[in-house]
Amino acid sequence: MPFTVIVITYAIAMIGLLIIPGMDNDGNPYQMTIFDAFYFISYTATTIGFGEIPYPFTHEQKMWVSASIYVTVLGWFYGIGTLVSLLQDRLFLSEIAIAKFKRSVKHIKEDFVIVLGYNDTTSVIIKKMIDDDMRVVVIEKEQERADYLHLEGFIPHVPVLVADVHSPISLEYAGIKSIHCKAIISLFESHDLNMRVTLASRILNPHIKIAVRSSTNNETSNLLDVGANIVENPLQIISYQIQMALNAPSLFKIENWLYNIHTLESKTFSIPKEDILICGFGRLGQSLYEMFVRNEIRPTIVEIDKDKVSLAISKGIDTIICGNSEDKELLEKIKINEKKLAIIATDNDTTNLSIISTIKRMNKNTIVIARENEMADFSIFSHAKIDHIFLPDEILIHKTTNAIINPLSDKLIRLLTHKDERWAQQLLVKLVKEIHHNPITFELNVNKAEAVELYNYLICPENKITLNILRASRRDRAHHNNIIPLLIVRGEEDILLPSYDTLLCANDKILFACDENSRDDLEYIVNNIYEFHYIVSGEERSYLKKFMIRS
């Protein structure tokens, strides 16, 4: 509309100048050209004013120009005002932002994940994804949080769309149907929101990985039923990890190594099996109590909420006491000086710190495990001399990123739950002895994209090759690199700690523990025709020989 008004006012003013005859310097009649009329009206309407061209105007022309000035200037004012108003319109700006976002997503030609919501937790996840060469696209409902993301200055650029995270249209804009989209992450505390995201995502892309958060076993079951691949309940994970520290602390150490939290030489975290106190009987406290009962341990519980206490008593729990865990008299009554382990499990950080301080003053020898609820750059908990801290958001970060970036490592962690302390100790000794105290993990997919020479060799039925070949050094095949196969996934079969005599098959997925030099050797061997030929046959293969064979 603004452009139309300007065109009409220009046309009216120009037509008048073309019709009204002028007079040249010699007094001869002169008819203005279209270009002259347009040029004159252009600098007149914009109030620049360069004078009368090409000759001084007659009285008739001056009268017409006088009228045209008011019409064209008002037309310009209207047009400019309307454009300024349009540029300030939120809906218009939103459409521009959406178009820009869609172009950014369309230009992503590498693997990427969609992260729903931007906060402290997802910010760390984004950084971890980028560090592992995975692109990220974000949908955030609040403009303010989207602005914070822009200020982070992630490299490469992280496109962000301000929209409802559960909207199918928003998910389509974010590229959920793209062949490069590998996963979607929804870690909201709202079960309904996670459920809606899961349903929409599974419909839009049946093959995408969906990582979501849950709070109860029932929620976990429901999310798995509707198609979620990765469902993490951080409070349940805390309970499981404490059980590992109780029964198989070496397994707990291996899990922390796989998450790159500690090395294999870090102090083993183990906990006593008697005289245990749980402060708080919320979801975490209940999960911990059920875990201890399964292990034939009956901990003492202190809970200030009378309703929770009544519920526990109705379930036959007779070791629960109603009271304030910060109360010294109460702690003396339950014999805190005899407690070997205190787990502080409330959902309030201030309360948790106060309880820790009171218990530490009354019994310095008590092992203290604390729940920290808020993730911050500076943590008071880390300076409070606590034996072990569980941070639910941090657990979500480790579990989610590991499941998406290192799927074989995530599968190995799940398989470890069926192993005991003796098995874990033997693996620890083997890893440290054959590699070092902090090996890296490496995942190899035996396919044409990641191991072309090995794959081409294995697709021939008569060719056989074992894992032992893959640990050979490309400098001297008689020498073995520092490498240990941890897991082979072959279709539906999982082979844990396979022997070096295990025959390999095309499309195997293999998880190795190794050092960096061994990883580099392995990548080079399975993808380079000369190195692979040497490792298999023991003979050097020259470029000339290869050229002659092809000729």
pLDDT digits 0-9 by tens, 302-348: 999 999 999 999 989 999 999 999 999 999 999 999 999 999 999 99
What is the percentage of the chain residues whose pLDDT exceeds 90?
79
pLDDT of residue 88: 76
- Whether the predicted pLDDT of 547 surpasses 70: no
Which CATH number describes the domain made up of 235-405?
3.40.50.720
The CA angle 422-423-424, to the nearest 5 degrees, is 90
pLDDT of residue 548: 43
Looking at residues 295-299, what average pLDDT do you find? 95
| pTM for this model (two decimals) | 0.84
- Domains of the chain, residue spans: 2-87, 104-232, 235-405, 439-550
Between residues 550 and 453, which one has the greater pLDDT?
A: 453
Question: In 3-state terms, what secondary structure has residue 226?
Answer: coil
Tell which residue, 280, 315, 327, 324, has the closest CA to residue 299: 280
pLDDT of residue 378: 65
Q: Contact, 288 vs 242, CB < 8 A?
A: yes
pLDDT of residue 46: 80
Q: What is the CA radius of gyration of the chain?
A: 35
- Whether the predicted pLDDT of 81 surpasses 90: no
- Whether the predicted pLDDT of 194 surpasses 50: yes
What is the percentage of the chain residues whose pLDDT exceeds 70?
97
Distance CA 402, CA 404 (A): 5
Distance CA 243, CA 255 (A): 13
Tell which residue, 474, 259, 234, has the closest CA to residue 375: 234
Any idea which architecture 439-550 has in CATH? 2-Layer Sandwich (3.30)
Equal fold, 2-87 vs 439-550: no
The pLDDT confidence band at residue 377, using thresholds 50, 70 and 90, is: low
pLDDT of residue 207: 94
- Whether the predicted pLDDT of 385 surpasses 90: no
- Which residues, 6+ apart, have CB-to-CB distance to 45 below 8 Å? 9, 10, 13, 69, 72, 73, 75, 76
How high does pLDDT run on average in the chain? 92
Looking at residues 67-72, what average pLDDT do you find? 89
The CA angle 185-441-269, to the nearest 5 degrees, is 85
- Whether the predicted pLDDT of 382 surpasses 80: yes
Superfamily of domain 104-232, CATH level 4: NAD(P)-binding Rossmann-like Domain (3.40.50.720)
- Whether the predicted pLDDT of 550 surpasses 50: no
pLDDT of residue 383: 83
Which CATH number describes the domain made up of 2-87?
1.10.287
